[in-house]
Structure 1
């Protein structure tokens, strides 16, 4: 059911202002958890999560240990590590894990989406790929869409760097392409 959806977000260069625009319109009772892989060093993700938590009605936390995935909560992957979804008897959790060398950028969007697909299934997922150089997330979010999930790519006109979302669009993996300041509205429309 729509009640069980989880939003998976990837961003890199230009990501923090994009996250402001994505998260600040969402109400405290937004029904879905949001998992964010923002490429960053470890010393930056804690301050980013704290700043977003002050700015937004939703609760924003940095993932430094296994945490239950709750509605109205945003989970920022710890920098210089990867964030993965895992299943516990009490339900899905998100956790930080040492980065793997086969993924080039960290926290890896591809690794996060791969583990979300493995444990939750595509029909429970909405992938959002925003500004960033390179292609992290494009292949796995294309797979997410093919397997029955929904995807949103940030439009070129608002992206600081249209690398990651551009690759998703080129691969045919973007169901919706929209300016960054309209992504929250799309999520809210789907959630209502």
Structure 2
């Protein structure tokens, strides 16, 4: 198997069935597949131009309260459903109570003061929004340390990295096999600072 644009690939890891020398010399994946399902390779792309979704957090605090508003939407439609979307952030230790609601999905505050907003798929008719109020400890007027929002999502059938399969040769098989390439995009470390 060879790819049209290997220059975008960084931090590659291979399944043990991959022969390393053909990759090292010509960027060709040569392997004997093991039985069953397996992950042939994983890689990272350092400078992804645009993520397919956006997350816009807004926090304002005064008089012992912090108002939170977070919107999530599709920035670049990859042509396939974006699913398994979650937004997570750590509530600062100075927060006494939190009252958060969402117009889509579910929001949970876990025991370690982590707020987990599970969206799933973004509906076509509205952008998911989370809003609410955080109550600060007595004597604090405003929140000084703002949280970082961690976002996760997945897209089956699309490689937003831009990696393209160039050629796939299958040898030593009695029948002509189906040749196919299946991609899956999964957010690694996608953080939005407020």
TM-score bracket for this pair, using the shorter chain length: under 0.3
Instruction: State the structure with more CA Rg.
Output: 2
- Tell me which protein shows more helix as a share of its residues: 1
Q: TM-score, normalised by structure 2?
A: 0.25
